[in-house]
Amino acid sequence: MIRNYFYLVVGVFCLLSAVTHEINGFATVFPALSNTNIDAESRITFNYLWHIIATENVVMGIALVLIALRKNDNAGKFIALFVMALLVVRWASIAFSTLTANWANFTKILPESAIMWALILLLWLGARKKEQ
């Protein structure tokens, strides 16, 4: 039985994000990297960092789906708040690195920012949800 739909929605979204992240990497990013003059070591570093992000999304998604199915306890809230903190730090890192490179890139991060803050809001609402 689903105990917290907020966690479930964010968990499923994290799992879908991991899949689409990997598909995007294999379909566009990795082929583009192989056609550049970037050295092999940098290409390998980019490759494993890409997979780390997907793996993080899988782990967060599985954790959130599992806690969506269990009684709303302090451990589940702690996990949800931890994932929320990770998303805030991830967004801050993206925003800082993008905007310090070129402030005009602000509009390029708006869609991702909106999605990340929607997920953060859903996690916050899920953590505040009272057990029935």
Tell me the average confidence (pLDDT) per consecutive run of 10 residues in the chain, 132 residues long: 93 97 94 89 92 96 95 85 95 92 86 95 91 62
The pTM for the full model equals 0.88
Instruction: Give 47: exposed, middle or buried? Use CB within 10 Å, 0-12, 13-18, 19+.
Output: middle
Give the integer Cα–Cα distance in Å for 50 and 31: 13
Count of structural domains within the chain: 1
CB-CB contact of 68 with 3 (8 Å): yes
Give the range of the structural domain holding residue 51, as residue numbers without chain letter. Answer: 5-128
Give the integer Cα–Cα distance in Å for 16 and 93: 22
CA atoms within a 13 Å half-sphere pointing along the CA-CB vector of 52: 7
